[in-house]
Structure 1
Amino acid sequence: MQASGRVLVCDSIDQAGIDSMKRAGLNVDYKPEIKADELVKTVRDYDVIVVRSRTKVTKDVVDASNAKIIARVGVGLDNVDTKAAEAKKIRVINAPEAASVAVGELAIGLMISLARSIPRADAEAKKGNWIKKELMGSQLSGKYLGIVGVGNIGRNIGRMAKALRMNLIGYDPYPISKEFVSETGMIVTDLDTLLESADFVTCHVPSTPETKHMFNAGRLAKMKSTAFLINTSRGEIIDENALYEALKSGRLAGAALDVFEVEPPTNKQLISLPNVVCTPHIGAQTKEAQELASTVIAEKIIQILRGVI
């Protein structure tokens, strides 16, 4: 059964999803560089708005639209005014399942990079500096990994970390899967206890008013001075100035950040620290994850417009 409707794709997405929508009979306009003012002017002509993280679907955009669906090709929905959409009875969908492996693998890679000073070792070796004696690292095996937010991504990381013989500690305001806890032997506890106990802390929570600066000076002070903090979720959950002070003073051993309060990051003093590893929000930037996210969203759009779901 063919679907009908006009789709505006506002950001760069994998071609597989676009092809799927076209095969289903949808009229797809691909405008990955569309500006906010143009979006407000043209959005009324579309039944579906598809975005990644660049485009902000503000209340102005929602109010100007006649859309049935707003689709985010990714995990979070913090760039979509979901309350405004709900008020207009617009379906808001995303693809949280698509990036869980890619983000999980990056988080593990960042942990190893911190534990073994891989970025520094690479940079110095290329300069001709043989600093072997300065690079005494630590193993992940036997260490305690604190996972803050034990959803799809958090559970994937837990399974990978368990394969590395790490011990798991988990915190989530929502119930954690009993099957996962049984499978991995995860210790479920409160956030403060997790921070006091973990050698590595990895964050996987959405950006909400409740999570903004959840890692503030007080929380960072609870962590071990030998601990490492990894954030591949949303930059707003960490108070970057507090993190800078903790890292500079030695109250925290190191941090790896894939996300920042402002992107590209403007907090140069933080990202310039030698015990900070930075990546430019590449958690979901794998060919496999982008193709899967695009095709998952396309299929959801098609099924909704057909009245199946």
Structure 2
Amino acid sequence: MNKLQVTENKQSFMPKHLGKTIILLIILLALCIVASLVFGSRTIGLTGLMDGLFHPDVESHEANVVRQRIVRTIFSLMCGAALGVSGALMQSVTRNPIADPSILGVNMGASLFVVCGIAFLNISSANQYIWLAIAGAMITAIFVFGIGSMGASGATPLKLVLAGAATSAILSSLVVAVMIPRTNVMDQFRFWQVGSVGAGNWDAIQLFIPFIVVGILIALFTAPALNALALGDEVATGLGVRTGTLRMFAALGGVLLCGAATALAGPIGFIGLLATHVVRLVIGPDVRFIIPLSALTGAIILTFSDVCGRLLGSPSELEVGILTAFIGAPILILITMKAKMRAL
């Protein structure tokens, strides 16, 4: 009897439709991976796909195209997963269901440091981009958190949102001020700012791996406490959660993920917002499950958008940052029309 009760209690904590959701996401992810390898300016046949995947000694044109697309696909999956988890963390930290990393000025802080690096330090490599972007994202997040924590009530969701919006507006003006007098900076920054996974290579992937591993580990470690935070700061404090430390630590994970992805692929929008929101509508508010499923969903959305950009822009391509806005905005509008928005 006791074993039966324990089993029932464990099942009661499992989100509804969790198993079906995981299976569906894995199937969609596999389809997106195959589509990313097959479709583009040139469609690859089954023989070329098999040669590119399993026969490294074959040097046909189709096999070489598949090998190039493997790198792009892996890079796209990593960026999408990082942005999805970052969105889940930022929404949990701010207790705002429509928040994404830009809510704390993370994207714009990274952009400002990158444009200053291009303008004043003549940087051009991914290794230089990533450290500047993360530094800018961290400094901005700390600044926003400090402003939002002022006052007797501490860092409330509303104060964090307002501080982030105001900081983003200021940083956006500074980015424009740095670019306008410098034509060469404007051209280089313009291509980076659109957002693209086409420039991904093995060096960028290797550079990305430590940041995505550390960021996701932080997300998984803080997930149980973030569930308590969703009940409110007073309740979370009563349960033994140090809300200030938790927010700083979770925000650090989000900054690492978003800052690294932004540095390597540009400021791609809507992934963190859309992926987390879709997952929450399907499985509920448990952050322990939202984080890994947001990683899968973000990877699916970004890879699918990249494939669409290649097909729509053939023989060239549309940058994925443009496609995520076109795909994400209508879906988000549809979701908000059918779901009642509420604070976490």
The TM-score range, normalised by the shorter chain, is 0.3 to 0.5
- Identify the structure with bigger relative contact order (alpha carbons < 8 Å, sequence gap 6+): 2
In terms of fraction of residues, the more helix-rich structure is 2
Q: TM-score, normalised by structure 1?
A: 0.33
Q: TM-score, normalised by structure 2?
A: 0.31
In terms of fraction of residues, the more strand-rich structure is 1
